[in-house]
Structure 1
């Protein structure tokens, strides 16, 4: 290897930076959500279920990009904590409709507020324009809809 072709330090590699930034944000989010007894995956389920129309487990799983088995486990946990209810669809008895309970709606409001505050703290080293630019840049990188 030529002397001028040394590998860049890890701190200059995009993959390294994204991985560690995501891990730092995940830790901050987990700490923020702990008082509500949910994690980031469960919060995402509550967000998806908070839409205007009721969703089946399968529809919610599709919107979240998780398999049905994972969705069943997530809904089971949320149901055990009284945050969602599950009922058979009157139109298709093969489908389970999942909806937020009043406790689930309150948990969603409070946990989302805590998550947003943790995100603001995470982005605090950036000024507002830089933070917005980072979010827009990441949205552009993910615009094809593929994870």
Structure 2
């Protein structure tokens, strides 16, 4: 039996629109709150996003960072320069092709990003019951498959 608050799957357009709106609000809210956590270090949302990418990918060329974020190379260069000045990333030339510049997150960058996320999530999850946290965790698998 379908619970009374379950979405009506006979209108896929309405379900898709509702799901998109809710996921967008959640994503935007998380990024905004995390940005506020990291912003105390003077970082912009773009810089925070670059730290996320580098933490996931380990090492990327400057051009790959720009393409991933859909930003111009000069914009990424400015952001990376700021992150480098703060000791959050390193920038090295590719020895086999001097046109390529590799960007890597430093341990300090990983720690800043990790601690901001941990602080944010601890604050958010503290208002939930253990059962709600488990339900949220179980819902993430299908959501990850959905966005792939």
**Common topology (TM > 0.5):** yes
Match of 2:142 among 116, 137, 145: 137
- Identify if the C-alpha distance between structure 1 residues 93 and 118 changes in structure 2 by more than 3 Å, giving closer, same or farther: farther
The unaligned stretches of length 5 or more in structure 2 are 1-16
User: How far 1:95 moved relative to its partner?
Assistant: 0.3
TM-score (norm 1): 0.63
Partner of 2:91: 86
In the alignment of these two chains, the number of paired residues is 130
Which SS does the other structure have where 2:96 is aligned? coil
Matches of 2:72 and 2:120, distance apart in 1: 26
Deviation for aligned residue 1:98: 1.6
> Residue 45 of structure 1: CA displacement?
2.3
Mark the runs of 5 or more structure 1 residues left unpaired by the alignment.
1-11
CA pair 101-26 structure 1, distance change in 2 beyond 3 A? closer
Give the root-mean-square deviation of aligned CA atoms. 3.3
Please state whether the residue corresponding to 1:85 is helix, strand or coil. Answer: strand
Q: Which moved more, 1:84-93 or 1:18-27?
A: 18-27
Matches within 5 A, 1:1-147: 13-50=18-55, 54-62=59-67, 64-69=68-73, 70-118=75-123, 120=125, 124=128, 127-143=132-148
Q: 1:34 and 1:52 mapped to 2: Cα distance?
A: 22
CA contact (8 A) 2:38 2:113 kept: no
Cα gap change, 1:109 to 1:61, in 2 (>3 Å): same
Aligned partner of residue 36 in structure 1, secondary structure: coil
- Please list the CA deviations of residues 52-103 of structure 1 after superposition, one character each: whole Å capped at 9, or x if unmatched: 86432223445x4434424323312212323222221111101011233453
Q: TM-score of the superposition, structure 2-length normalised?
A: 0.62
Q: Is the 8 A contact 1:29 1:118 kept in 2?
A: no
How far 1:140 moved relative to its partner?
1.9
How much does 1:115 deviate? 4.3
8 Å Cα contact 1:86/1:98 also seen in 2: yes
